[in-house]
Structure 1
Amino acid sequence: MAVMDDAPRVHAETRAQWRTWLIAHHGTAESAWLVSWKKATGRPAISYDDAVSEALAVGWVDSRPRKLDDERTMLYFSPRKPASAWSRPNKIRIEALREAGLMLPAGERAVEAAVANGAWTVLDEVEELIVPDDLAAAFAEYVDAEDNWNQFPPSARRGILEWIVTAKRPETRAARVHETARLASIGERAARWQPKRDGR
């Protein structure tokens, strides 16, 4: 948390301003908070999509948001970890950046690393809501698990599948698979993916 607290705050009202800062600092800064005006203020503010797109262009990625004050919010950005899985929306953003000629060498290197280590495709089946073999086998061990699973909202199923496939160790994945099937059998989602009270 200290690293996040110490990160510089970048007040950028336009995509161009954010891009200029990223080009100048992405190779030396460890992270940054992008500060934006809340919509209710009527002040200029960069959109979430534009902010994330420009970060991807230099190999950075967004993380958690935070309230700064009554009029401003912040979104945390840092260099993408090589093994970090790529979501479909970010892949689409990469395509758009390339078509517009906005990708930079650092961003291309991040993509190349992900393609090489498998992080680029690890979520492909997750995006299609394909149940992996080990989870299907676990469902078979619990009454009603599969039927209840299929009634969960797509967003919940996607989140749980991502949680499973991004496990770093086989034993961690096995535990998550078991927990998912066990809870599904009683109509509950894996604890990590219970709906959040703030609607996020």
Structure 2
Amino acid sequence: ELFYPKNKQHWREWLFNNHHRKDAVWLVFYKKQSDRKTISWSDAVDEALCFGWIDSKVESIDKESYKQYFCQRKPNSTWSKINKEKIEKLISTNQMTKAGFKAVERAKQNGSWTILDQVEALILPEDLKQALAGYKNALEYFDGLSKSNKKMLLYWIISAKRQETRQKRINELAELAGKGQKPKQFR
């Protein structure tokens, strides 16, 4: 389903009427060069968060517009620093709904609220530190990477579902860092 919100209020009304009945919707945005009224991405995300929803992939429609997928937040989906800051603002301005509060509470209970905190702060888990220390120049190579590369690699490590997968990723990262390389999928 495609939805063309004219403004923030129009999107909020759609969410109010549909957040509990539908799983997802494609929101249409118009680019700056278009004369069509549209909602900003930031406002769209704010309203989605109020109802326990989140933004996802973006696809082009034509030269004047694109669509972005918005859906109910999955129980274990991680919370970025930006979205947590948005939640604080939305709470302080009384914009949150019961569904939005429920999504936040569930995340705080299951750990998905804080799982990215160490990634955002660029804190290396102990097991990764030890593995990097086992290869000459690996830690220096890792420390020399850009913030965005470090975050990607740290997220890759912490997002492993099984301990064996995590260990395999740590070993691969440490060995390649010792050779001055990143894992293939990050090159």
Measured against the shorter chain, the TM-score band is: over 0.9
Where in structure 2 are the equivalents of 1:1-40 lying within 5 Å? 8-40=1-33
Query: Unmatched 5+ residue regions in structure 2?
Result: none
CA drift of 1:44 comes to 2.5
Q: Does residue 184 of structure 2 align to residue 160 of structure 1?
A: no
CA drift of 1:105 comes to 0.5
Over the matched positions of the two proteins, sequence identity in percent amounts to 42
- C-alpha spacing 1:152/1:37, structure 2 compared with 1 (3 Å): same
State the distance in 1 between where 2:17 and 2:184 align: 41
**2:34 matched to which residue of 1?**
41
Aligned residues: 187
Q: Does residue 127 of structure 2 align to residue 134 of structure 1?
A: yes
2:135 aligned counterpart, secondary structure: coil
Q: Does residue 43 of structure 2 align to residue 50 of structure 1?
A: yes
Q: Does residue 173 of structure 2 align to residue 180 of structure 1?
A: yes
CA drift of 1:32 comes to 0.6
CA drift of 1:176 comes to 1.5
- C-alpha spacing 1:191/1:25, structure 2 compared with 1 (3 Å): farther
CA drift of 1:9 comes to 0.6
State the distance in 2 between where 1:190 and 1:80 align: 30
TM-score (norm 1): 0.89
Match of 2:60 among 67, 70, 79: 67
Query: Unmatched 5+ residue regions in structure 1?
Result: 1-7, 195-200
CA drift of 1:175 comes to 1.4
**Letter paired with 2:56:** S
Match of 1:103 among 96, 100, 104: 96
- C-alpha spacing 1:85/1:139, structure 2 compared with 1 (3 Å): same
CA drift of 1:187 comes to 2.5
Where in structure 2 are the equivalents of 1:72-87 lying within 5 Å? 72-87=65-80
State the distance in 2 between where 1:49 and 1:192 align: 30
- C-alpha spacing 1:109/1:149, structure 2 compared with 1 (3 Å): same
What is the RMSD of the two structures over their aligned residues, measured on CA atoms? 1.3
